Structure 1
Amino acid sequence: MLSMGGDQIEEAVAHAAGVLRAGVELDWSVKARGLEWSCLETAEHIAGDLVAYAGQLTGRATEAWVPFEIAFDEGSGPADAISVIESTGGLLSAVVRTTPAGVRGYHPYPYGSADATGFAAMGTAEVLLHTYDIGQALGLDTQPPAGLCEAVLAWLFPQVMPARTPDEQWATLLWATGRGAPAGRPRLDKWRWHNALSIPAGRIALREVSPAAAADLAAGGTGGLTWIEDGPFDGTRRAAEGVTKAYASGVHRPEWGMFALVRVEDEVAVGGMGFHGPPDEEGVAEVGYDLAVGARGRGYATEALRALSDWALARPGVSALLAVIDPENEPSQAVVTRAGYTRASDREDLRAYLRRVSPAAQGGTAPQHA
């Protein structure tokens, strides 16, 4: 799996320190590339992000940023700035390694929170990208390890078609953050990274599976999760393979992929649930799910499907959700029924169930889908 954690933060910081020390005698009062900050102020921003991310996790902040900042002492120069980046990078890497599974801290993009892996990815990205901004202004070579770029892309930019070769990883990350336009990709005026969504569902939390984790699941791994004894089930691995293929083809859309069903009480994954892709031209998205055998018969799937459906039907442009089930799979039919789905016209030899946007939510009559 493309790992993301304390090791990657430390690798990024070591890269940044090596790059920046080569320019320690240069004029850091000049503006960093594409920014209103000087090179020294940009270095201060890197350190500020690293310690702020650590604070969000240790403070268990859920509603807003923990209200503090760091600043260089008056008279600090480039060598001092590099030392502070190394120190704050060490803080974040240590916090990421010791943050329990399931803990999330506030971050605005895009759903108001991120887990330790998300903060590790964001911290790594901040270090690599702002080192580039400083290095470009000072005339330094800033090319980072390709593996770091690949991991950041897989964890934070699941909507971006990945690079085909190691040499293209850095150019792709620069493009995804509005810093370049490699062949075949139009320059981006606006960009946002994507932290994996977590949807609460009573005893279960639906955790969005990143392309990096999906690739590991598809290959027979755990996807970074702790699984119930007989999990994951075959359907979960097939869904992960679908996410992996969609990402490689550049058609994966965050939110409309796969979610792991994680038991809140012990952070054990018990199944998978998600979509076969984004909504079609009529606003209909197809859902699918499975549970490990040892987790069945406890209502987990119903709770999760109800929560996922509520979330999806509140999204703009979504009119209905479709579930297609084998006629002999009576337990699955019972799950969708309990989650508010009703029978629709069969799809060939399979039974179809729809849950539509309510007339009240839509402001009129719900659309009819046969």
Structure 2
Amino acid sequence: METWGGDQVDAAVASCLAALRPVADQDWAAVKAGRLEWSCHTTAFHIAEDLFSYAGQLAGRAQEDYVPVELVLEGDPGSFGLLQVIETMGVLLATTVRATPPGVRAFHPYPFRSADREGFAAMGVAEVLLHTHDIAEGLGFAYEPPAELCEDLLTRLFPHVKPGPAPWPTLLWATGRGELPDRAPVTEWRWRNNLVIETERLTLTGVRPAAARDLNLGGDGGFTWSEDGPYEGTRRAAGMLTQAYEAGVHRPEFGMFALVRRQDGRAIGGMGFHGAPDEEGRVEVGYDLVPSARGQGYATEALRTLAHWALERDDVRVVFATVDRGNEPSRAVVTRAGFTQVGDDGTHVAYVLRR
């Protein structure tokens, strides 16, 4: 899977500049930007501010809060000057994303208090595309960015949103800027960066729908795998995630995680849930490891951490696992992780861990 980030920031900014330069001779300060309360001038500056802020967060590796710095314009640069600032800040973010190693995360408040380089790139692209739309709407002309860019954005920041008939109208609907047939209007929204959960030796990295689709089709999902990975169970789980996303029932925190070994940055397996908790607070977990990583306690370590993470939530009361009866190593993993056997039908053995 090709690295996603810097090129997409460049493409979003190029789309913005191509749309707005022909109308830069108008008075942006006198016109409200679409449905926003801001003027088109303020909205354009906001685009530049966000690009600058995301680059700063990622470059500075901020962990607890925003880096205490702000972008200040010198004088009144006018609309043409604002576009130059957007272009410059776009280069800054794209360059920072390209220079940031995979796995590095920095603070962003929603929803899990961090984002990786792909997340910051996606947030930058979202700010550019959506606010270019707002400015265009305010100035009275139509704007539509490349469909592929919008689809990429939906799979990275809106994994909880069912794909619609076309990516751009779906993105506008998901952010309260448009309508879709048979869907209620959106009045409040948030994007969702992927979740990571740390253990002593591993990082459980939430797999985005785009990565899951690539894994299911035989790719690497953007991860650097151990030589004998990914294993077949990981690819099947990626297919389940892809189906859930396309059906609009995917909840990212109850999806799939790649088990990334911190000492070398290599993915050694997959672990995750078969779906969101049911009405009784019951959620099922599954996992696999590449052969070379087995017998070293990685699966037990990951399962114990993920199960306890789930049980700390208000909507989970029981974590459930089913293991093939003849799979003694896997049965040992769930037992060491604290699960109790509750059933055996001769083919599969059922285990639970309760709150």
Identify the residue that residue 142 of structure 1 maps to in structure 2. 143
Amino acid at match of 1:79: F
Identify the residue that residue 54 of structure 2 maps to in structure 1. 53
Q: What are the superposed Cα offsets for residues 215-242 of structure 1, whole Å, 9 maximum, x if unpaired?
A: 0000000000000000000000000011
Displacement of 1:244 in angstroms is 0.8
Partners in 2 of 1:35 and 1:291 — Cα distance? Answer: 49
Partners in 2 of 1:77 and 1:346 — Cα distance? Answer: 72
Identify the residue that residue 262 of structure 1 maps to in structure 2. 260
Are the equivalent residues in 1 in contact too, given 2:325–2:346 (CA < 8 A)? no
Partners in 2 of 1:348 and 1:35 — Cα distance? Answer: 62
Partners in 1 of 2:44 and 2:263 — Cα distance? Answer: 41
Identify the residue that residue 8 of structure 2 maps to in structure 1. 8
Q: TM-score, normalised by structure 2?
A: 0.98
Identify the residue that residue 124 of structure 1 maps to in structure 2. 125
Displacement of 1:348 in angstroms is 6.4
1:249 equivalent to 2:247? Answer: yes
1:331 to 329, 332, 340: 329
1:89 equivalent to 2:90? Answer: yes
Aligned sequence identity (%) = 57
Amino acid at match of 2:252: P
Displacement of 1:163 in angstroms is 2.7
Partners in 1 of 2:4 and 2:32 — Cα distance? Answer: 31
Q: What are the superposed Cα offsets for residues 139-195 of structure 1, whole Å, 9 maximum, x if unpaired?
A: 12211000010000000001111134xxx2110000111111121211011111000
Displacement of 1:33 in angstroms is 1.4
Partners in 2 of 1:342 and 1:136 — Cα distance? Answer: 59
Partners in 1 of 2:169 and 2:314 — Cα distance? Answer: 33
> Helix, strand or coil for the counterpart of 1:247?
helix
Displacement of 1:280 in angstroms is 1.3
Equivalent residue pairs, number = 354
Partners in 1 of 2:88 and 2:185 — Cα distance? Answer: 35
Q: Where does the alignment leave 5 or more consecutive residues of structure 1 unmatched? A: 358-370
Pairs within 5 Å for 1:203-352: 203-346=201-344, 349-352=347-350
Partners in 2 of 1:54 and 1:310 — Cα distance? Answer: 34
Identify the residue that residue 360 of structure 1 maps to in structure 2. none
Judging changes above 3 Å, is the alpha-carbon distance between structure 1 residues 212 and 2 closer, same or farther for their aligned structure 2 residues? farther
Displacement of 1:340 in angstroms is 1.1
Identify the residue that residue 196 of structure 1 maps to in structure 2. 194
Q: Where does the alignment leave 5 or more consecutive residues of structure 2 unmatched? A: none
Identify the residue that residue 366 of structure 1 maps to in structure 2. none
Identify the residue that residue 17 of structure 1 maps to in structure 2. 17
* Moved beyond 3 Å, runs of 4+: none
Structural RMSD (CA): 1.1
Displacement of 1:347 in angstroms is 5.2
Partners in 1 of 2:111 and 2:338 — Cα distance? Answer: 28
Greater Cα shift, 275-284 or 231-240: 275-284
Identify the residue that residue 361 of structure 1 maps to in structure 2. none
